[in-house]
Amino acid sequence: MGFLDRLLTFFQDLFALLFASSSPEHKLKLHIKNLKNSLRQIEPPIYRQDGYILPSFPAGLHQIFNIITPVKDLLNETIASTDKRVSEKYADFLFELVLPEEQRAILGSLTFAKRSEALTTSMLDPERVIEEQGKQFALVLKYLDSPAMKSTEVVFDKLFALADFCDFNFNSFFASFDPAFQAHEGKDT
């Protein structure tokens, strides 16, 4: 029976490849097949051919958990803090670090205090000073749409994705492998 199932699957894949290679189901099947092949190549092996998960998989997850715990603590104290003010402060700080010096100087000149000072100390017409400040602001907005800033957005997205990954509840996941698993995190042991 196993031989006939494999033969049928082979012909189904062949017909799907020939006649419907752009179908979403075929692409999904191909993607899953590629994932299975890449999982087979991992050393030490994490599962057997019959789908049984080997002990090295949860052991690897536990190592990942131990490695990311300090990263999680750091992120929770800074950019991923539950206190919105702290989180925004560090996000703003990182944003300013990414900006070139010229853009930081322009951004610094657009604070309320600097703009007020420029209006009071300038010998020019106030309308002209405000117009110049508007041009400076337009330069900052133009830089925010630049490709350099788009790559910075990708870095921020990856940083927040890392924070989400670090917040994953590994303890309940470990319990899936061993019902007797007791989390020691946060307990006096």
Cα angle: 141, vertex 143, 146; to 5 degrees: 120
- Whether residue 179 is predicted with pLDDT greater than 90 in this model: the reply is no
Does residue 99 form part of some domain? no
Does residue 71 form part of some domain? no
Return the minimum-mean-pLDDT range out of 1-10, 85-94, 170-179. 1-10
d(CA 83, CA 85): 6
Does residue 28 form part of some domain? yes
- Whether residue 91 is predicted with pLDDT greater than 50 in this model: the reply is yes
Residues with Cβ within 8 Å of residue 179, at least 6 apart in sequence: none
Does residue 70 form part of some domain? no
Does residue 161 form part of some domain? no
Does residue 129 form part of some domain? no
What is the domain count for the chain? 1
Domain around 25: 1-41
